[in-house]
Amino acid sequence: MRGFLLSILCVLCATVGASERDRIRLAVPGFSHLTTEAGDGIYQRILARAVENLDVELHASFYPIRRALLVFEQGEADCIYSSTEALEQNFGKDELIFSYPLGKFSFFLFTLKNNPPIASVSDLSNKQVGVVSGQEHFLRPFLENHHLDVVWSRNDALNVSMLEYGRFEAIIGAIPDIRPYLDKLSYSPDHPLLESFDRLTCHNTERNRAFLTQLSRELKKLKRDGVYRDIAGPLYVGFDDDEPGVEPNS
> What residues contact 28, with CB distance under 8 A and at least 6 apart?
35, 44, 60, 61, 62, 63, 68, 80, 81
**Which CA distances in Å does 110 have to 7, 75, 139, 148, 190?**
65, 36, 15, 15, 13
Q: For residues 156 and 181, is the Cβ–Cβ distance under 8 A?
A: yes
> What residues contact 32, with CB distance under 8 A and at least 6 apart?
132, 155, 156, 157, 177, 178
pLDDT score at 15: 41
**Which CA distances in Å does 119 have to 151, 187, 219?**
20, 8, 34
In order along its 250 residues, the chain shows pLDDT tens digits of 444 434 444 444 444 443 444 799 999 998 888 999 999 999 999 999 999 989 999 999 999 888 998 999 999 999 999 877 778 877 877 899 999 999 999 999 999 998 999 888 888 888 899 998 878 777 877 777 778 888 888 889 999 999 999 999 999 999 998 999 999 999 999 999 888 899 999 999 999 999 999 999 999 999 999 999 999 999 999 998 887 666 544 4
CA distance 7 to 10: 5
Is 139 strand, coil or helix? Answer: helix
pLDDT score at 2: 40
- Amino acid at position 234, single letter: P
Strands 79-82 and 170-175: unpaired
pLDDT score at 126: 83
**Residue count of the chain:** 250
pLDDT score at 246: 63
CA distance 67 to 94: 23
All domains of the chain, ordered by start, with CATH? 22-104+196-235 (3.40.190.10), 105-194 (3.40.190.10)
Q: What is the DSSP string of 215-236?
A: HHHHHHHHHHTTHHHHHHGGG-
pLDDT score at 158: 94
pLDDT score at 137: 74
